[in-house]
A and B are shown apart, each in its own frame.
Chain A
Amino acid sequence: MFAQRLMESYRKLVLAALAAGAGLLSAGFSFGPKYVLLHPAGPVAKSELHVFILALELMAIVAVIVLALFFYAIVRFRDTAGNTAPYTPNWHSHTLLEVSVWILPAILLLFIAIPTVKTTFSLAHLPKGKDPVVIDVTSLTWKWLFEYPKQHIATVNYAVIPANRPVLFELTADSPMNTFWVPQLGGMEYTMPNRVLPLWLEADKAGTYWGHSGQFSGVGFEKMFFNVKAVSQKSFQTWTTTTASAHPMTLAAYDRLLKQTTVGDSTYGNYPADTFPTLASGFSLTGSGMYMVMHDKKGISYIPMVGS
């Protein structure tokens, strides 16, 4: 009981201290909505934030202990005239202390380690019983291509997803590596050429969540922002059907996307096969099959970006 109350007030203290520091730093600003990592909008981001906060609190305990000891020592044992603190120049060992500095941190770490492992494994699996929307994501220099294999539609630099339904992003790259990251929905995953990596995310409520790449990939990389629009299941349905009647993406259009440029949003009613590595297009987890490779388009011309 007491421990819990102590924990509670300690927790408040930590948060208050952090908030105060932040407030000082960012001109009267508390942890408002711009702290996207602290304002998750989906189960994945929430569980990630949860372990993060847990670990942060435990580390704060350690920090408090260490700093208390430290400041006490440097204040008390200064070499000033008339310092009455005991002076023990040959004190060099104390078994209990020496053992507990190994044991206590180890115990503390257990409290971080167990939730870490648990969450890591749980995040690796889609929630059972929910049918996910599949979106194939290809990072290009320097834009994002989203292809909906079931609906046969494609978008560039934005994606629309239904809220409250898991989304399975299949990630690859026809370019240098990037990471696919939508901070409010959950953590990132690399997009790599010759590989398809899965990542599932889910939005709790409708809204527009920005995403970005976390891995540097060239001069246009900082423009690789995109939006994920979570809408209701019904709006999602209508969106897919209306989009299906948009202009299809041609191979020529895909070639243009391969160029090293930045572009705005676009929407396509269909897209050619082979632009995303699938088993059907000869892709296997160990071999090639990427569009660029299959069509032998290595050595793309380099178009330097000027200023912007």
Chain B
Amino acid sequence: MSESEQSITVDEAYEQDNDKSIKFLRPRFHAEAFPTVQIFGYVGSLVLTFAAYFLVMNHVLPVLALLIIILTLAALQAALQLGVFMHVKEGRGLAWQIIPLYLVFLIAFGMVGMSIWIMLFKSGVS
């Protein structure tokens, strides 16, 4: 790679971006002196998973409540993975991926929820 010898800083890349007025896409990078974040993520994901597991296997709550809780735990865990391991906010210039990611989770949950709603067949003529 010829041109890239003059490596560039996060700020410079950001300043060069045409759309730097879109503030919430400003990239962030972790400081990584020791992999604390990774360890935190790993432990966190284990805790969340096994919490869900034990809640369900011991039937501590009514079914619906449990379902909501474990789905929430899963969503938390997804956020954890995205934030800690996947560095969603990293980017050169702007971290554009954030917008489609928000959207896609919205659409994905909408799709599952709506499909269930549509296919329930609450259409009985009374």
The interface of chain A, by Cβ under 8 A from chain B, is: 124-126, 168, 195, 197-200, 285
Contact = CB atoms under 8 A, between A and B. Distances in A.
A195 B118 CA distance: 14
Instruction: For chain B, give the interface size range.
Output: under 10
A125 B121 contact: no
Contact of B121 (A168, A195, A200): A195
7 contacts: A124-B123, A124-B125, A126-B126, A197-B123, A198-B125, A199-B125, A200-B125
B62 interface: no
A125 B123 contact: no
A125 B126 CA distance: 6
Nearest to A132: B125
Contacts of A200: 125
Interface string B85-126: 000000000000000000000000000000000000101111
B125 A285 contact: no
A285 B121 CA distance: 9
A195 B121 CA distance: 9
Contacts of A126: 125-126
Which of B123, B124, B125 has the most A CB atoms < 10 Å from its CB? B125
Nearest to A285: B121
Contacts of B121: 195, 197, 285
A78 B124 CA distance: 59
A153 to B, nearest CB: 22
A121 to B, nearest CB: 12
A197 B124 CA distance: 8
A71 B13 CA distance: 50
Contacts of A198: 123-125
A168 B126 CA distance: 10
Nearest to B124: A198
A198 B124 CA distance: 6
Contacts of B124: 198
A256 to B, nearest CB: 31
B42 to A, nearest CB: 40
Contacts of B123: 124, 197-198
A137 to B, nearest CB: 14
A285 B123 CA distance: 12
**8 interchain residue pairs of minimum CB distance:** A198-B125, A200-B125, A126-B125, A125-B126, A168-B125, A285-B121, A198-B124, A125-B125
A218 to B, nearest CB: 25
Contacts of A199: 125
A49 B126 CA distance: 23
Contacts of A197: 121, 123
A200 B124 CA distance: 11
B70 to A, nearest CB: 23
Interface string B60-102: 0000000000000000000000000000000000000000000
Nearest to A195: B121
Nearest to A197: B123
B124 to A, nearest CB: 6
Contacts of B126: 125-126
Nearest to B120: A285
Contacts of A168: 125
A124 B125 CA distance: 6
Contacts of B125: 124-126, 168, 198-200
B87 to A, nearest CB: 40
B120 to A, nearest CB: 9
A124 B124 CA distance: 8
B125 to A, nearest CB: 4
B123 to A, nearest CB: 7
A138 B125 CA distance: 18
A198 B123 CA distance: 8
Contacts of A125: 125-126
A62 B111 CA distance: 34
Nearest to A123: B125
A64 B126 CA distance: 42
Nearest to B125: A198
Nearest to B126: A125
